Amino acid sequence: MSTQPLVIGKFSLGMGDRFAHEAEAQLAACLAARKLGVEIVPVWNKSNREHNIIGSEPTSTRAAADAAVKALGWTAPYFLDADHIGLKTVDRFVGVSDFFTIDVADFIAQPADPAAVKAFVDRHPELVGTLTLAGIDRPFTTTRADVERTAAKFLLAVQEAGKVYRHIVSVKGVGRFVPEISMDETDSPQTPPELLVILAAIADEGVPIQTIAPKFTGRFNKGVDYVGDLAQFEREFNDDLCVIAHAVKRYGLPANLKLSVHSGSDKFSIYPAIRRALAKHGAGVHVKTAGTTWLEEVIGLAEAGGAGLALAKEIYAEALAHMDELCQPYATVIDIDRSKLPAAAVVNAWTSEQFVGALRHDQQNPLYNAHIRQLIHVGFKVAAKMGPRYLEQLKACRESGSRNVTGNLLERHIRPLFL
């Protein structure tokens, strides 16, 4: 085994593959990007939550990724992300994963030891006062009380990340995996000045993170476009990049540290801003996409017509019937207006073109329906319950499925962000 520490490249794409049948189609998008001149590191991510809903194990994700890499002759690095794990859930991933998204959002705002908070602020007088960071026009002005408040809010979460990190190290060894810390699944966004305090604390905790996932301003609903103030997003995203560059130098965090954008698929309206910011700062980024691939599977079924279309309609009808249960685990990241969801009988009468038009993320198409899209997004449990019946149909509709999966990642994601 090589002793070189694992380092993730500048641009990487998190790809979720709920039923472990699309790894080749996903990798084909990275391969196409490579031919077009940009290196995208593929990272297969599947959260503990997804594994539980589907009833799968991380070993199946590893097997699918390795098989795709072999089949397509991919020689560049690729990773397997244990997505949104904590101390209680990490163990089933430790053997097969080499990227860990340590999710400590639940520990935000839980009270940290006041003595630890005081020690942190004492150790970091540079965080108090007027901070001028390269690239940010308006300096941050913070009082000791501000820094204390921020530290009190995030210190316990960072300490928890340290525990999880050290646990993974005890099994895999230092440098044998890419650590990410995520704080995105929480109510309020983290501001750039807060991010600076968080990064200082992470450095103190000795976690050599290569990616960090803050919660950004605005709504990042699953599978649909960004909702929020575009100008504010762009300003904060740029400021975050400057904060990271500063923290790398000031606190000795890994030089390749970059932002990780969770629920990053389909956020078409902010891609130009992200692209501009990356170019301006020469920065890298990790963009996680997961359910967008499952949606393309369903589009592939519908596009194939016949039994494929019938199964896609059945998935919609079942998802509609079990909407509350399916939406519950994703309540904070979806926004579905029930009155915009057609009855199952209406959808059952649809042609292939109508179904595909409603589901495919083409906002120019008058048939497009963001509410159906979000419902199907959270509806993968329905397909999981169908078991072999779903998988058989997926294989029968292989051509349209793969074409849509590859095309979606390449044309709607990689191209606007990186090409």
Determine if 46 is a binding residue for Zn ion (CB under 5 A).
no
Q: In the block, which residue shows the tokens 């997961």? A: 290
Question: Which residue in 101, 80, 78, 107 sits closest to 89, CA to CA?
Answer: 101
Cβ closer to Zn ion: 243 or 261?
261
**Among residue numbers 49 through 88, which ones bind Zn ion (CB under 5 A)?**
none
Cβ closer to Zn ion: 46 or 313?
46
Least distance to Zn ion, CB of residue 213, Å? 6
Mask: binding to Zn ion, 183-212, rule CB under 5 A, as x and -?
-x----------------------------
Residue 409 per-residue DSSP state: I
Question: Which residue in 271, 106, 93 sits closest to 181, CA to CA?
Answer: 106
Spatial separation of the C-alpha atoms in residues 321 and 168, rounded to whole Å: 41
Contact segment (CB under 5 A) with Zn ion among 60-68, 170-178, 255-263, 389-397 equals 255-263
Cβ closer to Zn ion: 184 or 194?
184
Least distance to Zn ion, CB of residue 84, Å? 6
Q: How many helices (H) and strands (E) does the chain have?
A: 19, 10
Cβ closer to Zn ion: 222 or 262?
262
Determine if 262 is a binding residue for Zn ion (CB under 5 A).
yes
Q: Tokens in use for 146? A: 């501000």
Partner residues linked to 259 by β-bridges: 212, 285
Cβ closer to Zn ion: 246 or 262?
262
Partner residues linked to 288 by β-bridges: 14
Q: Tokens in use for 367? A: 């048939």
> One-letter amino acid identity for 415?
R
Determine if 360 is a binding residue for Zn ion (CB under 5 A).
no
Contact segment (CB under 5 A) with Zn ion among 50-58, 110-118, 259-267, 303-311 equals 259-267
Residue nearest to Zn ion (CB): 262
Cβ closer to Zn ion: 45 or 352?
45
Spatial separation of the C-alpha atoms in residues 317 and 323, rounded to whole Å: 10
Spatial separation of the C-alpha atoms in residues 255 and 410, rounded to whole Å: 28
> One-letter amino acid identity for 111?
P
**Among residue numbers 155 through 184, which ones bind Zn ion (CB under 5 A)?**
184
Least distance to Zn ion, CB of residue 222, Å? 10
Least distance to Zn ion, CB of residue 183, Å? 9
Q: Are the C-beta atoms of 194 and 144 separated by less than 8 Å?
A: no
Question: Which residues form the interface with Zn ion (CB under 5 A)?
Answer: 184, 262
